[in-house]
Amino acid sequence: MKFIVSSGALLKQLQIVGGVLNNNNTLAILDNFLFDLDGNNLTISASDLETTISASLEVDSEDNGLAAIPARLLLDGLKALPEQPVTFVINGSNNTVEMSSDYGKYSLAFVEGDEFPKLPEMEDISTTVIPAEILATAVNKTLFAAGNDELRPVMSGVFFQFSSDNLTFVATDAHKLVRYRRNDLKSDNTAEFIMPRKPLTILKSTLASVGEEVTIHYNDTNARFEFENIILTCRLIDGKYPNYEAVIPKDNPNRMEIERGVFLSSVKRVAIFSNKTTHQVRLKMAGSELNISAEDLDFSNKAHERLSCNYQGEDMEIGFNSRFLNEMLSNLESDSVSLEMSAPNRAGIILPNDGLEDGEDILMLVMPVMLNN
């Protein structure tokens, strides 16, 4: 089995597929890339049993065959080579792969490809098509808010909710919540499923350079994403997602409008002096003035800043975890944001006032922290 391929093109696909590799796998075979050669088409796959990703590229060959090649060794070897054609000769009699470049020859052992785990057969599938750019934005805007509590796996992923009215993506860790909705996209099938963090992280980095549509096939247990030359299949998180609509307060009479960049910079500066356990910052709103302060009583550190804003409502004092505010404000692109509140012990809602595309809707919710007066 022999083929010739551009080292740069091969490395690019291996780096995408390599995103699924674990440092310590339960099965030794999972430390390998599966090379599946069919004439001039080479398909490379990697898996951790939960997520499998494969990429296809064109090579110069007339052979067919399967081989599982050590992933880290191959990646490191190709990274050290400048762009050039590389010839692979896979010899079944002594189970070695020989790579030939302009510089010389490199040999490594391979495993029979038949041992590699097979993809799950997906039955009763539904299909939804989403522009790659929109899916990338949805993942970017929500994934940071997902939890990492192993005792609550349903909250460790992003909730996909497809309907005939819109497509909605939600993530929460019980302290913060993000709902990203597209009212300009619809699905023929009403569906709900929870995508795990790892495949979404791979999609996030891969979709950035994709200019076309992503086809999503899904059933009760698995989802498959197809775009360009890549297919990503993953097992969904089993369980029922919390009723997120119930925690979003509907009546918020106190509303502050403020420049996002100014607000974010101020929170960052003041938070440096906050308690290192609670990261608490205090917002005090009255008229057209916002006072942001933080204090660490253990070390007698404190900070205070005064900003101008447009505030409508009763004078109010509320505490938030500065890290959550920081993450949320950093994940918005608008020039101006609104913070809507009902009471100091109820969640605050952050909304962008501008910078949204037609049909785009973003809502961010942050739970308050108790102020110690």
Segment 322-365, tens digit of pLDDT = 999 999 999 999 999 999 999 999 999 999 999 999 999 999 99
CA pair distance 186, 363, nearest whole angstrom: 19
Average the pLDDT over 5-33 and give the result.
Answer: 94
pLDDT, tens digit, 9 for 90 and up, residues 162-214 = 999 999 999 999 999 999 999 999 999 899 999 999 999 999 989 988 878 99
Q: In which band, very low, low, confident or very high, does the pLDDT at 315 lie, cut at 50, 70 and 90? A: very high
Which residue, chain included where needed, has tokens 């494969």?
Answer: 54
Paired strand residues for 231:
54, 226
Q: What pLDDT, on a 0 to 100 scale, did the predictor assign at position 152?
A: 92
Residue closest to 80 by CA, chosen among 62, 109, 103, 46: 103
Spatial distance between the Cα atoms of 160 and 167, rounded to a whole number of angstroms: 8
Question: Is 214 within 8 Å of 225 (Cβ atoms)?
Answer: yes
Determine the pLDDT at residue 373.
Answer: 62
- Whether the predicted pLDDT of 313 surpasses 80: yes
Q: pLDDT tens-digit profile of 56-103?
A: 999 999 999 999 999 999 999 999 999 999 999 999 889 999 999 999
Query: Going from the N-terminus, what domains does the chain have, and what CATH number goes with each?
Result: 2-115 (3.10.150.10), 126-246 (3.10.150.10), 249-369 (3.10.150.10)
Q: Give me the pLDDT at residue 252, please.
A: 95
Of 33-47, 113-127, 268-282, the range with the lowest mean pLDDT is 113-127
Is the pLDDT at 9 greater than 90? The verdict is: yes
- Please report the DSSP string for 316-347 in residue order: EEEEEEHHHHHHHHHT---SEEEEEES-TTS-
User: Which pLDDT value is given to residue 26?
Assistant: 84
For position 172, what pLDDT does the model report?
97
Instruction: Check whether 301 has a pLDDT greater than 90.
Output: yes
- Any idea of the CA torsion for 153, 154, 159, 161, to the nearest 10 degrees? 150
